[in-house]
């Protein structure tokens, strides 16, 4: 499984080894829950952004090697980043922070949301993508029964004595 931040700022080269630019954003089809390509910012000073569709990617690890570029307009993650996620009772569950997708088929598996509005990195939650619908201004969470709840809660540290730091897990 990968996150968007695993790809952002990755260098992009063509099959001849020419450096084209770096990945600025991930292009998605949220209806089909798929990553469809990448938005590339060129290294040229006045160059315009272009896209690489996933079928044109030959290889990626440290660099992304591509065979051709595209100029299509597509929905990017930047368009849904920081959108509110709302449940069926109009409660705000959090704000979109990242996507989780598999590297092989590029299917979106989940959305990471920050559950605190002030964005202090206190608590993050993973919602399954199959339970989300993209609206114009918000993501709608339509799951009624929560069987698995994944949360990432950072550790809090406190001092007991001089120089002694112990770990306290928050719940």
Distances (CA, A) of 72 to 79, 119, 124: 16, 33, 33
- Residues 84, 21, single domain; the answer is no
pLDDT at 154: 62
Do 9 and 19 lie in one domain? The reply is yes
Give yes or no: residues 84 and 98 share one domain: yes
Containing domain of residue 111, as a range? 78-156
Mean pLDDT of successive 10-residue segments in the chain (171 residues)? 89 92 94 94 89 91 90 91 90 91 91 74 81 92 68 58 49 44
Q: Which of 76, 108, 125 is at the close of a domain?
A: 76
Residue 162 within any structural domain of the chain: no
DSSP string, 69-87: -B-----BHHHHTT-EEE-
Q: Is residue 164 part of a domain?
A: no
Tokens encoding 26:
């991930």
- Listed residues 54, 76, 98: the one ending a domain: 76
Q: Which residue has the tokens 């009772």?
A: 89
CATH of the domain at 50: 2.30.30.240
Per-residue pLDDT reduced to its tens digit, 76-97: 999 999 899 998 888 888 899 9
Query: 42 and 88: one domain?
Result: no
| 146 in the same domain as 83 | yes
Q: What is the pLDDT of residues 11-23, one digit of tens each?
A: 999 999 899 999 9
Domains of the chain: total: 2
For residue 104, the number of C-alpha atoms closer than 13 Å in the C-beta half-sphere is: 0
Co-location of 43 and 87 in the same domain: no
Same domain, 87 and 152: yes
């Amino acid at each position: 499984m990968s996150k968007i931040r695993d790809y952002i700022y990755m260098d992009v080269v063509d099959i001849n080894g020419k450096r084209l630019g770096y990945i600025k954003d991930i292009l998605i089809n949220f209806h089909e829950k798929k990553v469809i390509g990448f938005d590339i910012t060129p290294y040229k000073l006045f160059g315009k952004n272009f896209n690489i569709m996933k079928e044109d990617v030959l290889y990626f690890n440290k660099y992304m090697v591509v065979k051709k570029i595209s100029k299509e307009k597509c929905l990017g993650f930047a368009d849904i980043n920081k959108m509110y996620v709302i449940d069926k009772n109009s409660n705000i569950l959090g704000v979109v922070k990242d996507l989780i997708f598999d590297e092989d088929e590029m299917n979106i598996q989940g959305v990471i949301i920050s559950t605190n509005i002030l964005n202090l990195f206190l608590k993050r939650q993973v919602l399954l993508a199959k339970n989300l619908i993209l609206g114009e201004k918000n993501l709608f969470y339509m799951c009624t029964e929560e069987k698995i709840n994944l949360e990432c809660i950072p550790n809090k540290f406190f001092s007991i004595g001089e120089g002694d730091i112990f770990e306290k897990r928050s719940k």
